[in-house]
A and B are shown apart, each in its own frame.
Chain A
Amino acid sequence: MTVCGYCQLPTKKMATHNDEHYHPPGLQHQFEDMGQQAESDSIGMWMFLVQEIMFFGGLFTVYLVFRSKYPMAFAAGSNHLDVFWGTVNTLVLIVSSLTMALAVHYAQLGKRNLQVILIIATMVLGTVFLGVKAVEYTAKYYEGIVPVKGLNLRTPKEAKHNVLKTATEHSPTDPDSEIRQSLDSPSSVEKKGGEHSEHEYVNPTADFVWEDTSLAVKARDAGYLTAAEKIGYFSNGEIDAAKFRDKVRIFFWIYFAMTGLHALHMIIGLGIMTWLLWKAWKGTFTAEFYAPVEMSGLYWHFVDIVWIFLFPLLYLLGRHFGGH
């Protein structure tokens, strides 16, 4: 037998209010009043979000360490990301945060229809975000800059990074000629997969490809290389394209890990929203009981905050170097 926290009367169950004595609707027996219940809900959710901060924080720490070592490789990689889609996605996510905040607002007022509409709007915007992300990931695949060997099988000769080759050819230092030769020679991949015969695939090992070393050379000429960069990009004072490629590859590992983990959070968020939509549709939430809407909102806003930092740190960090 348990004692009700609200009225100190013995009660049979913890979760329902079919007892003979009065309760505010929505109050669970273990809490003294609605205020205590609301604070307990919030504190539990915030404890979860704090460990999420540390979860993403580990990746931000990796970013911090490697960017402080190789700022130019990070700038080169960042300039190659699609800043248009990145900005669009930032705006999409901010609008979805607004619709989520308004969904909580109307849940607090107990308005079922507006709640349902705004939850649907949030889900649509979340799906748009993931769609744009898929477009971006696909583009990376076709450009040969997925940082895993064997995952760049469909790199056509006219990929963007190959256009960059013309820029480096004019530079006094000649970048990795070995890679260039392998790029120019007909690929084994092309022979295997004949269905894409209109393209010539030029990446036989399907490895990460990067040719543009112009930012490293520019930084050396301007004299602002870090100590790690002097060793990390150059061999005997000459630019080493293979070394620079490996440092840009670190950036793309971090890009895929961070945006991938963020996208996973979006997918989980959409799952939560589906459940929330079902509950809201049934009219579960009232002005007295809307904690699930508010807690889901906290999660959604947190995922938005992560993107608020990912956007400038991944997409915009090297734009002022003029790019390519």
Chain B
Amino acid sequence: MAEHKHIDNHQEHGHQEHHIVPIPLYLMVFAILIVGTIATYFVAFLDLDGIFAGANTLVALLIAFTKMTCVALWFMHVKYSSRLIWLTALAGFFWLAIMFAFTMQDYLTRGSGVFTQ
């Protein structure tokens, strides 16, 4: 009898672990991704660099980051995952940021002749 009770507890626990994302939510994320793609296409043809240099690239990357966040949170179920998964995913991008930052603080502070003879 004791064993039976034990099993029931585990089954309840199991249901909490496996979050099933409803289909309408998937479709909403999908719609955001499609709209983002179309937006990034049309914005690229507008000259935003008149506002400040690099504005076009900034807008394109903001849209890309939004799309990535949507894919990661809902399609990849990070939103419903444990903190360990959150930490792992964020650590990946943190190390990537370190690589970019340390590389560029070197290259951008050198003379212009590095890649030219």
A→B interface (CB under 8 Å): 6-7, 22, 24, 33-35, 38-39, 42-43, 46-47, 49-50, 53-54, 57-58, 60-61, 64-66, 68-70, 83, 87, 90-91, 94-95, 97-98, 100-102, 105, 108-109, 224, 226-228, 230-232, 294, 297-298, 301-302, 304-305, 308-309, 311-313, 316-317, 319-321
Contact = CB atoms under 8 A, between A and B. Distances in A.
Given A54-B99, A305-B71, A105 B20 contact: yes
Given A38-B18, A54-B99, A316-B40, A91 B84 contact: no
Interface of A, helix, strand, loop or mixed by DSSP: helix
B46 A320 contact: yes
A68 B107 contact: yes
Contact of A108 (B20, B61, B93): B20
A249 to B, nearest CB: 13
A42 B80 CA distance: 12
Interface of B: 3, 6-7, 10-11, 13-14, 16-18, 20-21, 23, 26-27, 30, 33-34, 37, 40-41, 44-49, 53, 56-57, 60-61, 63-64, 67-68, 71-72, 74-77, 81-82, 84-85, 88-89, 91-93, 95-96, 99-100, 103-104, 107-108, 111-116
B115 A69 contact: yes
A153 B79 CA distance: 51
A97 B92 CA distance: 21
Which 9 A-B pairs have CB atoms at the shortest separation, nearest pair first? Answer: A227-B112, A35-B17, A316-B44, A50-B92, A312-B60, A34-B14, A53-B92, A46-B88, A319-B44
